[in-house]
Each structure stands twice: as structure tokens, then as C-alpha cells.
């Protein structure tokens, strides 16, 4: 069973539908009693950082996720805002603390200075930096995913950078450590490539981590 964390920040239905399509059981929930029985955890999300952290704390999800992911070591996938929330802090509408699982700040993309359109909306190539089970079977030449964001997690530790993308500047498109992986792009909106990645995530067991 896959837990899809619901903290009132939209987009949970698409991830649930993708799991159904791939024939995996999943549950949309923010209750500890549900999450503790799941083997894998997905933190999706679209919206503003501060509002998201407020909702997470209100539901004690920071404690629950710490217990299940950091201590029990369950495979975890953060998507878009669900990746950014793992950072130490964010500069979106003021400075706000994140979950702090990864050293680094959430910053605005510099693309605007280069005259590029903002938000960064659409399909873009990712460059895979390290081999990882979630990229199994993905062709690097056609590794294109759907992005929609203005901020990005500026990953401090190069060893934790799993993939990057270029839009004006190089920014981190995916991060990882042990049983944790997170993407700035939306696998649940990235057609074949995205479904491949989600399937790989569910097949990823702790032994491989």
C-alpha cells in the first residue's frame, strides 16, 4: 500500500490515479494509522511553501514523516512542492523553515534575469547525474518531464543531486539520500516517462536503497 499524503495542497488525485493505472493500491490520507501501515510514501503538492508547512505542522505530519521515513526508512518520493518542503528553508514570500531533511534553500529561479518566461512551465530535459533505481529503463536522450514552478531547491551537497535541469541556470531537478528521493518535475503529469518513474519507485525496496 502506498500512502499519498494529503495536506490540503491539491494535486493528490492525479498521483492516486496514476497508482490505480499502474495497478497499485494507494490511499490518500494524513492519518498516522493509515500511513504507518504503508510500505511507501509520496508527498505531492502544488502551491505556496508557507501555507504548506503550516498545514503539515497542523496535522503533525512533520513528526509522522520523520518517524516513518527517517527512522523506519520507508521509500519516500517528494514531488514539486513536496521536494521543496524537504529543504532547510524557503525564500518564497518571506523566509520560512522547511522540514530540513536536505541542506539547502528554496530560491527563485534566475531565469527572469535572462529574459526567459516565468513561471517555468512545460516539458524540459533532465540530465541524470547518478544511477538510481527510480530512473531504471529511462532513456537519457529522451528524459523529458513536465515542470511548473518558479522556485527550486538549491541543493548544497553535490552528492545528493540526482538530476539537474537547465532554464537560464542549472537547477536541481531531483535529489536523493538513502530511502528518500524527490523531483521538482511532475512524474504524474509526464506521460510515459512519468509512469515509468512512478512504477520504479513502487518497485524500489529498502534493500536497494
Q: Which residues would be at the binding site for other proteins (CB under 8 A)? A: 10-11, 13-14, 17-18, 20-21, 46-48, 112, 116-125, 139, 141-142, 144, 146, 148-150, 166-167, 186, 188-196
Q: Which is nearer to other proteins, 33 or 115 (CB)?
A: 115
Phi, psi of 135 (to 5 degrees): -100, 10
Question: Active-site residue among 68, 92, 160, 188?
Answer: 188
Question: Active-site residue among 96, 132, 149, 186?
Answer: 186
User: For residues 23 and 17, what is the distance between their CA atoms, to the nearest angstrom?
Assistant: 10
Q: What is the dihedral of CA 1, 180, 35, 91, to 10 degrees?
A: -130
Q: Which is nearer to other proteins, 132 or 186 (CB)?
A: 186
- At its nearest, how many Å lie between other proteins and the CB of residue 41? 20
- At its nearest, how many Å lie between other proteins and the CB of residue 19? 11
User: For residues 65 and 34, what is the distance between their CA atoms, to the nearest angstrom?
Assistant: 12
Q: Which is nearer to other proteins, 14 or 179 (CB)?
A: 14
Strands (E) located in the chain: 2-5, 26-29, 40-43, 76-79, 87-90, 96-97, 102-108, 120-128, 144-149, 151-155, 161-167, 169-177, 180-183
188 included as an active-site residue: yes
- At its nearest, how many Å lie between other proteins and the CB of residue 144? 5
Residue 178 is placed in which grid cell?
538513502
Angle (nearest 5°) at CA 175 between 126 and 73: 140
80 included as an active-site residue: yes
Q: Which is nearer to other proteins, 103 or 123 (CB)?
A: 123
- What number of CA atoms fall less than 13 Å from residue 39's CA on the CB side? 11
Question: Active-site residue among 38, 80, 155, 165?
Answer: 80
Q: Which is nearer to other proteins, 89 or 124 (CB)?
A: 124
120 included as an active-site residue: no
- At its nearest, how many Å lie between other proteins and the CB of residue 74? 24
- At its nearest, how many Å lie between other proteins and the CB of residue 156? 25
Residues serving a catalytic function are 80, 186, 188
Amino acid at each position: 500500500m502506498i500512502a499519498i499524503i494529503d495536506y490540503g495542497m491539491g494535486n493528490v488525485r492525479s498521483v492516486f490515479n496514476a497508482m490505480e493505472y499502474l495497478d497499485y493500491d494507494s490511499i490518500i490520507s494524513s492519518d498516522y494509522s493509515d500511513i504507518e501501515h504503508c510500505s511507501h510514501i509520496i508527498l505531492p503538492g502544488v502551491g505556496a511553501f508557507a501555507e504548506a508547512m503550516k498545514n503539515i505542522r497542523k496535522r503533525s505530519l512533520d513528526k509522522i514523516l520523520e518517524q516513518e521515513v527517517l527512522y523506519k526508512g520507508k521509500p519516500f518520493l517528494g514531488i514539486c512542492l513536496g521536494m521543496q518542503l524537504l529543504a532547510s528553508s524557503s525564500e518564497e514570500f518571506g523566509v520560512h523553515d522547511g522540514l530540513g531533511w536536505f541542506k539547502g534553500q528554496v530560491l527563485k529561479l534566475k531565469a527572469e534575469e535572462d529574459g526567459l518566461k516565468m513561471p517555468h512551465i512545460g516539458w524540459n530535459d533532465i540530465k541524470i547525474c547518478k544511477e538510481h533505481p527510480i530512473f531504471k529503463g529511462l532513456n537519457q536522450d529522451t528524459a523529458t518531464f513536465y515542470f511548473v514552478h518558479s522556485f527550486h531547491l538549491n541543493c548544497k551537497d553535490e552528492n545528493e543531486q540526482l538530476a539537474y535541469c537547465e532554464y537560464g541556470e542549472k537547477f536541481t531537478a531531483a535529489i536523493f539520500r538513502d530511502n528518500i528521493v524527490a523531483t521538482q518535475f511532475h512524474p504524474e503529469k509526464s506521460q510515459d516517462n512519468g509512469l515509468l518513474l512512478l512504477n520504479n519507485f513502487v518497485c524500489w525496496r529498502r534493500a536497494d536503497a
